[in-house]
C-alpha cells in the first residue's frame, strides 16, 4: 500500500495520529466555545478565530516578558489564565455593544461579526506587525519522547491535549453541575419561561458569549505551542471549527468532541498520503456530504420541531 510496509504504516498512523491530536485539541477548544455560543443563542460568531488570536498574542507577549525577567519555566500556566480573562472581557464587551442588538436576526449577526473580525485583524496587524511571531516555550514543553525507536511523540502535543481535556471537563462541570449551567440550559430550553421564574436571561446570554470567547482565548494559548501567530491566524481555523460544531450537532458536548477528533485525525492522516490541500479537500467534502445526508449533525439532541 503506497509503497510502505505494514509496520511503517502503523508507525505513520501513530505519529500522524499524535500530530492530529494537537490539532484535535486546538479545534476542540475552538469548537467548544463556538458550540456554547451557537447552541445557547443560535448566534454565529465569525470573529471567534480572532478571539483565539487574542489568546495567542497574549501568550506571545507574556513569553517576551518572561524571557526578559527570567521566569520562562512558569509563565505558561499564567498565560493561559490571562488569555482566558482577556478574551472573556473583550467578549463580554462585544456582546454588550453589538451582539445583543441582533439576536432576532441571526444572518445579520454573521455579517456583523465578520466585520468585527476584519477590524480585529487590522488592529492585530497595526499593533503587532504583519510578521508571524512565536512564543518562547518553557523547556519542559520542548522535545519529544520515543516509546519505540520509530515513533516520536512531541511533548507539547501531549500538553495541549491535557489542557483540552481539562477545559472540556471544566465546561462539562460548568454546564451540567453548576447553578450557572442550570440557568444556561433553562434559557436554551425555554427563554420566556426561564425569564418568568426569575432567571436574568440577558445576563445569561452575556456570560455565555463571554465564556465561549474566553475558551477561544485558551485555544489561542494552546495554539502558540504548535505554530506561530500572525494577524490572520484565526481565519485558518474558523471554517474547520464551524464544521466541527455543525457536524457534531450543535448543543451536544459529546458530538463536538467526537467530530473534532474525527475531523482532525482525518485531515492529519490524509495529509500524509495526499498533498496537504487535497487532504483538507477530501475531509471537508466528506463532512459536507454527510451533512447533506444528515443535516442535524451526528449527535443531535432529539427535539421535536
Partner 1 sequence: MKTLSDKLLGGKQGVLGLALLALLIMVILPLGLDIFRLNLVGKYLTYAFVALSLVLLWGNGGILSLGQGMFFGLGGYCMAMFLKLEASDPISTKIQTTPGIPDFMDWNQLTALPWFWEPFKSLPFTILAILIVPTIFAYIIGFAMFKRRVGGVYFAIITQAIALILSILIVGQQGYTGGVNGITDLKTMLGWDIRTDSAKYILYYVNALLLFGCIFLSRYILTSKFGMLLLAMRDKEERVRFSGYDVSDFKIFTFCVAAMISAIGGAMFTLQVGFMSPSFVGIVPSIEMVIFAAVGGRMSLIGAVYGTLLVNYGKTVFSETYPELWLFLMGGLFIAVVMFFPDGLAGIYQKHARKIPFLKRWVAEEKQKQTDAHASHGKVGTKLGAEA
Residues that bind partner 1 (CB under 8 A): 42, 44, 98, 101-102, 105-112, 114-122, 125-126, 239, 242-243, 246, 275, 277-278, 280-281, 284-285, 287-288, 291-292, 295
Dist. CA 89–CA 97, nearest whole Å = 12
State which residue, 178 or 275, has the beta carbon closest to partner 1.
Answer: 275
The three-class DSSP label of residue 98 is coil
Dist. CA 117–CA 87, nearest whole Å = 14
DSSP string for residues in 143-171: SEE-SSTT--EEHHHHHHHHHHHHHHHHH
State which residue, 157 or 255, has the beta carbon closest to partner 1.
Answer: 255
Using the structure block, give the residue that is written with the C-alpha cell 527570567. 70
Nearest residue to 38 (alpha-carbon basis) of 216, 170, 178, 221: 216
State which residue, 120 or 222, has the beta carbon closest to partner 1.
Answer: 120
State which residue, 80 or 90, has the beta carbon closest to partner 1.
Answer: 90
State which residue, 138 or 297, has the beta carbon closest to partner 1.
Answer: 297
The b/e string for 214-233 (b: 16+ C-beta within 10 A; e otherwise) is bbbbbbbbbbbbbeebbbbb
C-alpha angle 96/301/169, rounded to 5°?
A: 65
CB 203, min distance to partner 1, A: 22
The three-class DSSP label of residue 2 is coil
Dist. CA 92–CA 208, nearest whole Å = 9
CB 206, min distance to partner 1, A: 18
State which residue, 225 or 271, has the beta carbon closest to partner 1.
Answer: 271
Strand extents, DSSP E, the chain: 144-145, 153-154
CB 32, min distance to partner 1, A: 17
CB hemisphere CA count around 129 (13 angstroms): 5
CB 122, min distance to partner 1, A: 4
CB 6, min distance to partner 1, A: 29
CB 137, min distance to partner 1, A: 30
* Other CB atoms within 10 Å distance of the CB of residue 193: 11
State which residue, 157 or 212, has the beta carbon closest to partner 1.
Answer: 212
State which residue, 62 or 287, has the beta carbon closest to partner 1.
Answer: 287
**3-state DSSP helix/strand/coil percent for the chain, to nearest 5?**
75, 0, 25
CB 105, min distance to partner 1, A: 8
CB 37, min distance to partner 1, A: 12
Amino acid at each position: 500500500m503506497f509503497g510502505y510496509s505494514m509496520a511503517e504504516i502503523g508507525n505513520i498512523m501513530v505519529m500522524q495520529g499524535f500530530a492530529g491530536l494537537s490539532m484535535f485539541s486546538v479545534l476542540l477548544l475552538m469548537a467548544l466555545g463556538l458550540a456554547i455560543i451557537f447552541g445557547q443563542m443560535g448566534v454565529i460568531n465569525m470573529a471567534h478565530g480572532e478571539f483565539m488570536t487574542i489568546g495567542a498574542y497574549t501568550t506571545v507577549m507574556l513569553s517576551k516578558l518572561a524571557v526578559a525577567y527570567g521566569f520562562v519555566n512558569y509563565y505558561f500556566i499564567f498565560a493561559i489564565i490571562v488569555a482566558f480573562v482577556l478574551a472573556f472581557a473583550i467578549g463580554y464587551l462585544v456582546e454588550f455593544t453589538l451582539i445583543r442588538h441582533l439576536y432576532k436576526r441571526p444572518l445579520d449577526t454573521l455579517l456583523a461579526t465578520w466585520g468585527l473580525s476584519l477590524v480585529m485583524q487590522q488592529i492585530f496587524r497595526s499593533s503587532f506587525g504583519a510578521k508571524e511571531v512565536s512564543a518562547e516555550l518553557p523547556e519542559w514543553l520542548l522535545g519529544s519522547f520515543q516509546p519505540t525507536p520509530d515513533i516520536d511523540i512531541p511533548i507539547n502535543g501531549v500538553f495541549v491535549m491535557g489542557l483540552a481535556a481539562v477545559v472540556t471537563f471544566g465546561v462539562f462541570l460548568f454546564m451540567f453541575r453548576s447553578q450557572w449551567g442550570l440557568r444556561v440550559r433553562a434559557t436554551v430550553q425555554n427563554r420566556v419561561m426561564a425569564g418568568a421564574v426569575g432567571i436574568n436571561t440577558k445576563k445569561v446570554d452575556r456570560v455565555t458569549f463571554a465564556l465561549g470567547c474566553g475558551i477561544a482565548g485558551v485555544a489561542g494559548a494552546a495554539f502558540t505551542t504548535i505554530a506561530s501567530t500572525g494577524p490572520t491566524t484565526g481565519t485558518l481555523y474558523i471554517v474547520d471549527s464551524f464544521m466541527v460544531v455543525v457536524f457534531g450537532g450543535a448543543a451536544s458536548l459529546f458530538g463536538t468532541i467526537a467530530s473534532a477528533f474525527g475531523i482532525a485525525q482525518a485531515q492529519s492522516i490524509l495529509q500524509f498520503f495526499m498533498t496537504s490541500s487535497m487532504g483538507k479537500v477530501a475531509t471537508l467534502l466528506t463532512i459536507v456530504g454527510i451533512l447533506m445526508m444528515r443535516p442535524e449533525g451526528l449527535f443531535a439532541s432529539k427535539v421535536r420541531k
